[in-house]
Chain A
Amino acid sequence: MAENKKYDCIVIGAGHAGCEAAYALSKLGKKTLLLSLSLEALAFMACNPNIGGTSKGHLVYEIDALGGIMGFVADEATIQTRMLNLSNGPAVHSLRAQVDKNLYHRLMKLEMERTSNIELQEGEAVELLIEKIPQKEESKICGKIVGVKTDMGAIYEAKTVILATGVYLQAKIITGENVRCTGPSGFKRSEGLTKNLLDLGLDIRRFKTGTPMRVLKSSVDIDKMVPQYGDLDMPNFSMLTENEVRNDAVCYLTHTNLDTHKLIIDNLDRAPMYNGEICGTGARYCPSIEDKVMRFKDKQRHQIFVEPEGADTDEMYVQGLSTSLPYDVQEKMLKTVKGLENAKITRYGYAIEYDCINPLELYPSLELKKYEGLFAAGQINGTSGYEEAAAQGLIAGLNASRKIDGLDPYIATRSTSYIGVLIDDLVTKGTNEPYRMMTSRAEHRMALRQDNADFRLLEKGRELGLVDDRRYEIFQERKKEVKEIFKALKKRYKIAEVQEVFTKAEVSLPKNSISGEEILKRSQLNYSHLLAINPDFNKYSLKNLKYVEIEIKYEGYLEKQTQAIKESARLEELKLDLDIDYMKVDNLRIEARQKLNKVKPLTLAQASRISGVTPADITVLMVYFRKRQAEKNSK
């Protein structure tokens, strides 16, 4: 027998979470095995051909500021760019890219192949190798991870393991009466691992999601639909991207109608969601068309966006028609839709069911409570979406590395990133359906913008070892220029200098003189007016000018947010030990005791966010906390 191969970390699954995890580990000098059921499925975009969008764009920017890979590869594979929410406020400006799926997969695969410290390997993990630790009464730890066994019988030893299995655990694909035991697009599913996870005593659940059909562009009547072009002069995701991204692809808007709805209702008995075939919990965030029609009976029509799957294919994604109805109903359905009457379906829509773990099994570091060195990231944690997966992958990779080095984990906080909001929501509140990031979940939203992601996170990323010299230098340059712009904005202009621009913009003239800062403060004026008044500002980048404008214009609201963050920081700083038995804390309501024991919060702030823990319980905990501190100090 050959000697077992040894790694610092084994990442099971090479999807969006797995790749990001492996990439972070490689940056931190950790020897990593990236194990995938099929290398053809590496970073495969199984559903929509987009990266970014509301709140997801924020995640990609944050990943980039922390030295991640997603934004950079997405930029390379972008074929159209739009900035959503431009009129709804700076906090929610959200970049969304149409991405060439094949190109994204190929580029990411190449990155993984070429990154030192990462070994790419096709293979199915069937068993996690655990070394039992005698269980202490107060702790939840049952064992320590030591390696992984594959379907070929190979044993790989490792100090840490990251589960990033996506939707592949016991996956089942359902189209009407047709049920196939495979992963997305016919890729091999994972067979043995679920049983192993159950044997390890983990809380396993079954979730469901779905995807629409794909159609051939040549069979679509684009003249009958409304073209949607990319926005001009938009930024890209990654600070490393130097070339302008591609922006020439076109999407098309059309709608369902009452005929479509009638057809769906008439065939509802053949819909797996309604005839009992599907038992997994579906997400409200990506409803199927049959769900939409049934739940919103008054709606006369639903939007459909027909989007290219890539630049090297004529297949198009029919966003809005996610369905698990039988193939013949899908065909009839398209015939009712304007522009899609003759559409040729290349792949039918389907629902997919898969196993995942209850995220309450995790600490905010994404390490499992029961097994030391075992981490989980991505859809296995009950999330949906490429960006949510990648964000968790980065954090799991980082913290696996820190575990190996004997360092405290990095806990992303709600006040500094969407990543923090995402993970805190997951491990504190759990989720009963695939969790989607939304900007409404971020209570400090004004402070968590795309344009300041690097200001929020990059220095931290540098300290953690994730940010390399190149990124760091680019950021130092940016900081320098921003400082210069603020300085240049102190310059005052006489009425005569601004009169023309102000009059054209129908803005009242200042009494005497006005500074650049005061110009930007005015709600009807922006950086472009400033450029017209003083062309010197042209030497600065648009990105930085826009950033400075937001900081000035929304100063009052940003200040409020800072205040709110300060208020919540008090509770964030009160750390709760993991060995507290809440059943023994007097005066806590019983429900709160049970919930607290299950979640094992790291801070009083996290405790306060557990559903079923009331402000009064927190007051009780505060008193308990002080008593405990006093006892500790007196020892």
Chain B
Amino acid sequence: MSAKDTIVAKATAEAMAAIGIIRISGQNALSLAKDIFTSKEIKGDIEARRMYLGQVSTKNFKDKAFCIYYKAPNSYTGEDVVEIQAHGGQTLLDGIFRELVSMGARPAHPGEFTKRAYLNGKVDLAKAEGISDMISASSEAEIMQAYRLMQGELSKTITASIEKLTEAVAGLEAILDYPEELEEDTRPESLALIKEVKADLEKTYASSKNRRYITEGINISLCGLTNVGKSSLMNAILNDDRAIVTDIAGTTRDVLKENFMIDGLKVNLVDTAGIRDSKDSIEQIGIKKAKEAIQGADVILFVMDTSIEETDEEKALYNTLDKQKTIRVANKGDILKYPRKADVLIEAETGKNIEKLMDLILEKLNVKNLAKSTTLTRERHIFAIKSAIESLDNAIEVYDNMTIDCILVDIKQALRRLADITGEDVDEAIVDRVFSKFCVGK
């Protein structure tokens, strides 16, 4: 079964590259390929999944190329698919593309190959969502996350929970449907399974709190009195001279924003105006903006100039900050001479200990290796898991005091929420499980 029209698109990015791929999908893919591609290696029919070296010809040019045919349904879209790998120049690829369109192929809409894969049952919804996330991803972590969704990592995690819950439910349902015949007491085992699933889901859910870090990045604000070296630190982190550095206090009047990556996560770094009582109206605006940036930060780097004595002003500023979010960064000097509490000692000018500071940031947010773990990035999934956890909580709470029919109201609710993610039919699975596991029935 395939859609009526055959679609074509460049599968590689619009950039200079050594090779470029044109992809064709639909019922005419093979005949189009035969029209545009010739090879001495082809004897009779084009074999599926074999790479042929040959020649691609258009009205205006001929060039060497490879051609691979994927026969329906064993292809990405589930339809007949042909890929032509040619040299990477855009003019060349555009030429092949236009030739195919003139021969009757339709330019594909964005995401149309994936959509066809989905319609033909080649990928499930979670995977399709993963693919679309990947295409629009902006950080490595986001790509990794999308990749994991696409690979069905989330489906796998959820499927494992569904599996366990189905088992727990089947044990309880067997009691209700076969009260006389079921000889074993399934209650303790079911409870253990439910608790296990709840713990698993909580772990997955906890990671959703970090979801924003993956999709939007981490917000870090530099904060401190004027002229303590915030801008130098920013430059050190970014490794260039983005911020103007002078030794005149109050140089940074606006809020500077920069992006960089740590551990695969995007970071939005904000350098703010040094905070002081200022009469300068422009500087005042800067200070106001700085305060806002500090409010929205996930991590605040409180920079101190340790070449001088700690002042009351410094103490006062520190006290206005959210201590949970704040890392005390000692800059410029010898902490022994003017001792104060610091989480890390750096030298912004030389870049010393910047790595250590980065590590501290990840630790502070508890996001080490986040880019490499499965995180819930879709609102739909987060909602489903959250409500499943709530339902399981209810069930566990009354497990020993309520009758089984009541307990099952909540457990089955949880099961349905999870099934919403993968689209499984859980009701039939429960019945199957009852009969595969227990010897019941007259």
Contacts and interface: CB of A to CB of B under 8 A. Distances in A.
Interface residues of B, number: 41
A615 interface: yes
Given A295-B439, A445-B405, A54 B179 contact: yes
A240 interface: no
A447 to B, nearest CB: 10
A117 B439 CA distance: 46
B338 interface: no
Interface in B391-442: 401-406, 408-410, 412-413, 420, 423, 425, 427-428, 430-431, 434-435, 439, 441-442
A287 B430 contact: no
Contacts of B435: 284-285
B406 A443 contact: no
A558 to B, nearest CB: 10
B428 A429 contact: yes
B181 interface: yes
Contacts of A616: 125, 423
B423 A440 contact: no
Contact of A446 (B1, B409, B427, B430): B409
Residue from B124, B404, B430 whose CB has the most chain A CB atoms within 10 Å: B404
B412 A443 contact: yes
Interface in A536-568: 554, 557, 560-561, 564
A299 interface: yes
Contacts of B427: 440-441, 443
A614 interface: yes
B318 interface: no
A302 B420 contact: no
B431 A440 contact: yes
A95 B425 CA distance: 30
A599 interface: no
B439 A292 contact: yes
Nearest to A322: B442
A624 to B, nearest CB: 14
A438 B442 CA distance: 13
Given A54-B178, A284-B435, A299-B439, A88 B121 contact: no
Nearest to B119: A589
Nearest to B412: A443
Interface stretch (B8-16, B169-177, B354-362): B169-177
A591 interface: yes
A54 B439 contact: no
A587 B428 CA distance: 26
Given A303-B183, A554-B406, A591 B442 contact: no
Interface on chain B toward A: helix, strand, loop, or mixed SS?
Answer: helix
Contact of A296 (B404, B428, B439): B439
A434 B428 CA distance: 14
Contact of B176 (A88, A284, A554): A88
Contact of A611 (B120, B406, B412, B428): B428
B442 A286 contact: yes
B180 interface: yes
A616 B408 CA distance: 26
Contacts of A614: 124-125, 423
For chain A, give the interface size range: 35 or more
Interface in A600-635: 611, 614-616
Contact of A557 (B173, B401, B409, B423): B409
B406 A438 contact: no
Given A284-B435, A292-B439, A302-B439, A54 B120 contact: no
Contacts of B121: 589-591
Contacts of B402: 89, 523
Contact of B441 (A286, A523, A587): A286
Residue from B180, B423, B431, B435 whose CB has the most chain A CB atoms within 10 Å: B180
A614 B1 CA distance: 19
A91 interface: yes
Interface in B74-133: 115, 118-121, 124-125
Contact of A438 (B120, B177, B179, B181): B177
Given A89-B405, A611-B428, A439 B441 contact: no
Contacts of A85: 176, 179
B119 A88 contact: no
Contact of B442 (A48, A55, A554): A48
A285 B441 contact: yes
A48 B430 CA distance: 26
A90 B125 contact: no
A91 B402 CA distance: 12
A440 B173 contact: yes
Contacts of B115: 587
A322 B409 CA distance: 34
Contacts of B410: 560
A79 B169 CA distance: 35
Contacts of A557: 406, 409
A87 interface: yes
Contacts of A283: 441
Interface string A42-75: 0000001000001100000000000000000000
A485 interface: no
A98 B254 CA distance: 88
Contacts of B181: 303
Contacts of B173: 438-440
B422 to A, nearest CB: 9
Contacts of A305: 180
A92 interface: yes
A320 interface: yes
Given A614-B125, A615-B420, A560 B409 contact: yes
A78 B125 CA distance: 54
A235 to B, nearest CB: 18
Contacts of A92: 176, 179, 404-405
A84 B405 contact: no
Nearest to A94: B179
Given A590-B120, A615-B420, A440 B439 contact: no
Contacts of B175: 88
Contacts of A523: 401-402
Interface string A274-308: 00000000011111000010011001001101000
A319 to B, nearest CB: 6
Contacts of B423: 614-616
A71 B176 CA distance: 22
A446 B119 contact: no
B442 A84 contact: no
Contacts of B179: 54, 84-85, 88, 92, 94
Nearest to A320: B442
Contacts of A446: 405-406, 409
Nearest to A96: B180
Interface in A92-119: 92, 94
A446 B407 CA distance: 11
A441 B410 CA distance: 15
A489 B420 CA distance: 42
A529 to B, nearest CB: 18
A611 B425 contact: yes
B393 to A, nearest CB: 14
Nearest to A287: B441
A22 interface: no
Nearest to A211: B442
A614 B419 CA distance: 10
Nearest 5 pairs between A and B by C-beta? A89-B403, A89-B405, A614-B423, A91-B405, A440-B173
Given A92-B176, A438-B431, A441-B427, 8 more contacts: A88-B179, A90-B403, A285-B435, A285-B441, A303-B180, A303-B183, A446-B405, A589-B118
Interface of B: 1, 115, 118-121, 124-125, 169, 173, 175-181, 183, 401-406, 408-410, 412-413, 420, 423, 425, 427-428, 430-431, 434-435, 439, 441-442
21 contacts: A54-B176, A85-B179, A87-B403, A89-B176, A89-B403, A91-B406, A92-B179, A94-B179, A299-B439, A319-B442, A438-B434, A440-B430, A440-B434, A446-B405, A523-B401, A554-B406, A560-B410, A587-B115, A589-B119, A590-B121, A615-B423
